[in-house]
Amino acid sequence: MNTMILKTTLGAAALACSGLAMADVTFYEYDNYGGRAFTVHDPIGDFHQIGFNDRASSVVVSGRPWEVCDDAGFRGHCFVLRPGSYPSLSAMGLDNRVSSAREAGHDVADNRWGPPPLPGQVTFYERDGFRGRSFSTTNDIGDFRSTGFNDRASSVVVVGERWEVCDNAGYSGHCVYLRPGNYPSLSAMGMNDSISSVRMVQPGAPVADSGWAPVPPPAYDARPRPQEQLFQAQVVATHAVYGTPTQHCWVEQTEVRDNRNQVGGAVVGGILGGILGHQVARGNGAVAAGAIGGAVVGGAIGNANSGTRVEDVQRCRDVPASGPPQYWDTVYTFQGVEHHVQTTAPAGATITVNRFGEPRM
């Protein structure tokens, strides 16, 4: 992650002498702290000057509150953000709209405060793909044996804050930092069935690039925000989504009428037989070569008098995925706009949304 740090030496020195905590804010290009980022310690009256105007989608505030505005010069639609992590600015109408920012003063009117940041939450699942038993926490856990989930997690959903997971108790051993998002498998980072402790990464805490897990797909945080007005949207369709069907194939010998070009027929049969044999076998070269040889022989040994020959022909059929649905896809409308949401259970006649049509649960 490339981060530009904009600061004034005199301002930093003054804060250090005063004994107060350094106040800064980090803006990220995408939701869940993804993409380009930059950190500021001093007022920025126009984001054009740092090439980030109308580009911020998530924010981390450290030290003290900051005011962010959608016009230059600290004008327009403004919110004061408390210290904490904001994985999305959509709920306050500032996604890709921030144009100026400064540390807030001491006297802030109630109507200028933005929604408080939600506590970070991490949910562990016993199996890949968010299946099996699970448990969620908003607190640090130094030893998973107290939860009955030691060395059992295979997938994770992280929302709100960033978390550190370790394969030993006491936050020791091999540790990985997780950004907010969906982690359908922990195998790639060497943490499958290995997690023994977890703790939240404090907002603004520095983390080396090498410590991060690969960037995950985003996780949607559907928890209602404080003082957020909610509505009921009409559900128009819901259907279950199962796993990808598998294809069961086999090869059988079939008599076909000879087209009087037996050499050509034998060669074609050999090519098709090789591909088909490779598909239905284990896919190694020896099996494929044997299939080609068998098909050539099969094509050559027809009954010359009957005008027919024997070829290897592949037959296939789709086998539906077994087990329960992977998820439910729901379509709903709100203020004339169609929305889709994926859930672990079928929706009812309506679904709860905020004023932007974002689902809440």
pLDDT tops 60 at residue 45: yes
| Of residues 127 and 270, more confidently modeled | 127
pLDDT tier at 247 (50, 70, 90 boundaries)? low
**Residue 245 confidence (pLDDT):** 63
Task: Walk me through the domains of the chain, giving residue ranges and CATH numbers.
Answer: 3-112 (2.60.20.10), 121-211 (2.60.20.10), 231-243+323-353 (no CATH), 246-319 (no CATH)
pLDDT tier at 143 (50, 70, 90 boundaries)? very high
Beta strands in 179-307 (DSSP E): 181-183, 197-201, 231-241, 246-257
pLDDT tops 60 at residue 254: yes
pLDDT tens for residues 4-36?
Answer: 333 322 233 333 333 344 678 999 998 878 788
**Residue 186 confidence (pLDDT):** 95
Distances from the Cα of 338 to the Cα of 219, 237, 240, 333, angstroms: 21, 11, 18, 4
pLDDT tens for residues 322-342?
Answer: 677 777 888 899 988 888 888
pLDDT tens for residues 65-122?
Answer: 999 999 999 999 999 999 888 888 987 889 999 999 999 988 888 888 988 887 889 9
Ramachandran class of 125: left when φ > 0, alpha when ψ lies in -120 to 50, beta otherwise: beta
Beta strands 34-40 and 3-6 are parallel
pLDDT tier at 307 (50, 70, 90 boundaries)? low
3-state secondary structure of 171: coil
Angle at 195 (CA atoms; ends 193, 196), nearest 5 degrees: 125
Average pLDDT for residues 235-260, to the nearest whole number?
71
Average pLDDT, the chain: 76
**In degrees rounded to 5, what are phi and psi of residue 51?**
70, 30
**Residue 34 confidence (pLDDT):** 79
Query: Rounded to 10 degrees, what is the CA torsion of 206, 210, 214, 220?
Result: -10
Q: What is the C-alpha to C-alpha distance for residues 61 and 213, in angstroms, rounded to an integer?
A: 23
pLDDT tier at 292 (50, 70, 90 boundaries)? very low
**In degrees rounded to 5, what are phi and psi of residue 304?**
-60, -30
**Residue 293 confidence (pLDDT):** 33
Segment of 153-162, 223-232, 251-260 carrying the highest mean pLDDT: 153-162
Assigned token pair, 234: 């009409």
